[in-house]
Each structure stands twice: as structure tokens, then as C-alpha cells.
Amino acid sequence: MANLAVQRDIISREIIKPSTSTPPHLSTYKLSTFDQILPGCYVPILLFYKNQAPDGSCDMKEISRILKNTLPEILNRYYPFVGKIEGNTFIDCNDTGAVFSVFCLKNKLVDILAQPDYNILEMLFPDTLPWNNSQDGNLLEVCVSFFDCGGFSIGMCISHKIADACTMQLFLNDWAAMTRQPGIELRYPHLLEESAFPPDNKFTLQELRISRGRNPVTRRFVFSPSTIANLKARVVSSSMVQNPTRVEVVTAILYRCLLKASKIDSGSLSPSTLVIAVNLRPRVVPSLPDNSIGNAVWPFMLLINEEKKMKLDVLVAEMREGLRKFFEYSKSMKGSQWFSMVQTTFTNFNSTENLCISSSWCRFPFYEADFGWGKPAWVCIPKFPLCNTIILLDSKDGDRIEAWITSEELVMSTLEGDDELLEYALLNPSVI
């Protein structure tokens, strides 16, 4: 797969505006505390679709036309996505528009999925866009790439200033439903804005800054249902946690193995902090609607400074208890208290070395995004540039977990040969 030559032709690149102008009373979207402090990078997602035509034909122009024609309709509902960020405090909803690009590749989809290549996945987006700065560009970019076999991919990049993973799947599924069933009645998204997590206008929030590290390398590890069950049994056998979740055990084994690899690289165990991104929508009082768009995610931080805490069962127990306390704490937060919490976390973030950030996108229904040509064959992300990062996604069947891990090159070399990790996970197996 590493020798696969890819030829990409850019067919078109257009600016798509909402079908109707955003009314004046909606022209200003005030960013919440979380929107302001999260990095203004493009967050990418990539969905692959097989050719569903019985005769194997694929009308690239027709598919492009349909997607392009329905995009303005969904942008009416998600109008902040086509505005412009001003001063990290609000979005000017001036209908600047979203970028819609079409690529054509002289490769078959099966070649891409047989053994995914991290560099090739990146080519299915506009150049250098994923994870890079979104402050000066359009907040939303969509790229449709057609393969020689008739399959295609939809790549989306959206500014983290306006969207988290939950927001991304809401937008994609609403757009897919509107494309698949013209005239369908959809709920309007609930815009969080500043009212949910209000900033303190007397203070200026700076964005979180995270070091990219030396030579970041991304790898994909896939956990099967049977190995996840084995991990759970390993944790349960200690009686510390009797009902571990699949995300808990996968996160724990990955973090444990990253700590071991880092210890080998540096020669000693340095204190490390596991940062787990938490979706706050169901965990605040009152809970937020499940169709809330914006950022409703914040990190829980777990310090590991002793060898004994590296044990799998201890890690899961520490995560479980820490998250329990975090959830109880979040239920009591009101109004400006969120701002104070963010300030405290920000200080801890900046003063802490050896961070490992874990974000689970599992249970978000990306695989339900059927635009009328079937559900995705595979959903993934391109390589991530920040070291010591774990992103978890479901497989299509919903039983396996795909973990995308980024670390420094020397640490990753050790991780790729870790017998304990390879007992439970396959390194970049075929999607098909």
C-alpha cells in the first residue's frame, strides 16, 4: 500500500452560500466560553461510499450536482458555519459561504481501503487543511472525491470554534437526510451560543495551546469484540471495576502502552496526565438538547505519577472514579461558574507536562449518513499532528473500535512492537 501511486485532479472549487440570506437579527453568533478557548483548527472527518449502482456506473456530475444543490438548504439551518470569526468573541453571520470542492482520482476505492495509507487519506481534503488554522479561512469546507470504480468519499473540515464531534455528525446526518429525502421535516439545530456557557466579558480568554512534539506519527489500531471482551475480563478479575465500558478499557490499554513506550524512550517514568474529552450535553443540569451545535466538550484530567497506577485495572478504576466526581461537579455548575472552571483548567493545562489527550467519537452515528447512495463503508480521520493523542471511532458494525494514535516517532516505533498492545489490537488492518 505504501507504494500506491495516487493521481488527484481538481475538478472544481466553489463557494456555496445559504439559499436565503441570514436575517439581520441572527447576524451575530456569540461564542461560548468553550468556543473561545478551544483551538481554532479545522477538525476533519472522512466518509467513504461504495458504488451502489447495479450496473457499476457512476454519474459523477449528477452526484456532485445533487450534493451541491442541497448544501445551501442545510446551510440555512446551520448559518453560523458560513460566517466569519471576529476577535475570538463572535461569528459575523454574513453568509461568507462554505467551500465545495470536487476531486477525481485514478484509483479504485478498494485500493484505498485494502490497507489505508495515512498520507493518501490526507489527499482527500484540500491541501494542508486538516487540523490547521481556520481563523482566516471559511469555517466549513467540503470535498467530494470520486474514484475510478465509481465509489466516492466526502471529506469535511470545520472550525473547532463552532463545532465538536457531536456537532459534526449532526450536520452530516441532517444534510444526508435532506439529500436523501427532499422535503423531509427536520428539527432545527439548537444553537448553544454564549448563553449555555457564558464568558466573562471583563476577561479575555486565550486559546489552549498544545505542543505538536517532535516528528509526530499517526497509526491506526483496531480492537475486535473478542479482544475488547478479554480486556474487560482482565479488569473485572481484580474486582476493582465490575462493569467497565469498552471505551474505558481501550483507552486504558492504549494509555498504559503509551506510558510504557515513553518510559523506554526517556529511561524513566515521568508524571503524566491523561486528558479525557467529555461530552457535557447529557451531563449538565438541565441537560442540553442532543441536537445542540457548538462546543459542549471539556477535559477531565487524571494524573499518573506512580508505577502502580499504570496497571490496567487501576487505570480503569482511577478513570471511573475521577469521571464520577467530574460528572457530579458538572451538574452543579451554573452560568459564570463555567468560566471560572475553564480558567482553572487552562492554568493546569499550561503548567502540566507530558499530557496525553483522549477523545472518544464512539456512539456518534457517523455511519448513518446516507445521502441516497447507501451508508458509509468506512469513516475515518486523517493523520493527527499532536503527539500523545488518542481518538476513538466505531467501526461500521459498531462492535469494533478503531483507535488513531499519534506520538513521537521513537515512541511510536516502540508502541508498534508492544506485545501487550498487539495481543489486543491489529495494526492498520484492511477495512474490507
User: Which of 77-91, 193-207, 251-265, 360-374 has the weakest average pLDDT?
Assistant: 193-207
Grid cell, residue 74, equals 442545510
Q: Report the amino acid identity of residue 258.
A: L
pLDDT tens across 259-270, in order?
Answer: 999 887 677 777
- SS3 category, 389: strand
- Omega before 72 cis (within 30°)? no
Position 3 pLDDT exceeds 80: no
pTM for the complete prediction?
Answer: 0.94
Can you list the domains of the chain with their CATH numbers? 8-196 (3.30.559.10), 216-368+382-427 (3.30.559.10)
Grid cell, residue 414, equals 516502540
Q: Which residues contact 2 (CB under 8 A, 6 or more apart)?
A: 117
| Catalytic center residues | 160, 370
Helices (H), 181-245: 193-196, 225-236
Position 164 pLDDT exceeds 60: yes
Question: For residues 43 and 32, what is the distance between their CA atoms, to the nearest angstrom?
Answer: 18
Question: For residues 61 and 384, what is the distance between their CA atoms, to the nearest angstrom?
Answer: 32
pLDDT tens across 206-241, in order?
Answer: 676 666 667 899 999 999 999 999 999 999 998 789
pLDDT tens across 382-419, in order?
Answer: 888 888 999 999 999 999 999 999 999 999 999 999 99
Grid cell, residue 100, equals 465545495
Position 86 pLDDT exceeds 70: yes
More confident residue, 366 or 240: 366
Helices (H), 9-149: 33-37, 60-77, 109-114, 118-122
Q: Which residues contact 271 (CB under 8 A, 6 or more apart)?
A: 303, 304, 305, 353, 354
Question: For residues 419 and 426, what is the distance between their CA atoms, to the nearest angstrom?
Answer: 11
Q: How far is CA 16 from CA 93, 275, 276, in A?
A: 14, 37, 36
From its phi and psi, is residue 398 left (phi > 0), alpha (psi between -120 and 50) or beta? left
Instruction: Give me the mean pLDDT over the 60-86 stretch.
Output: 96
Torsion of CA 163, 164, 165, 168, to 10 degrees: -10
> Among 59-63, 243-247, 342-346, 353-357, which range has the highest average pLDDT?
243-247
Question: For residues 311 and 307, what is the distance between their CA atoms, to the nearest angstrom?
Answer: 8
Position 155 pLDDT exceeds 90: yes
Position 1 pLDDT exceeds 50: no
Question: For residues 24 and 93, what is the distance between their CA atoms, to the nearest angstrom?
Answer: 9
pLDDT tens across 103-147, in order?
Answer: 999 889 999 999 899 888 999 998 778 998 887 889 999 999 999
Closest CA to 280 of 340, 343, 348, 330: 330
Position 201 pLDDT exceeds 90: no
Grid cell, residue 159, equals 472550525
pLDDT at 228: 98
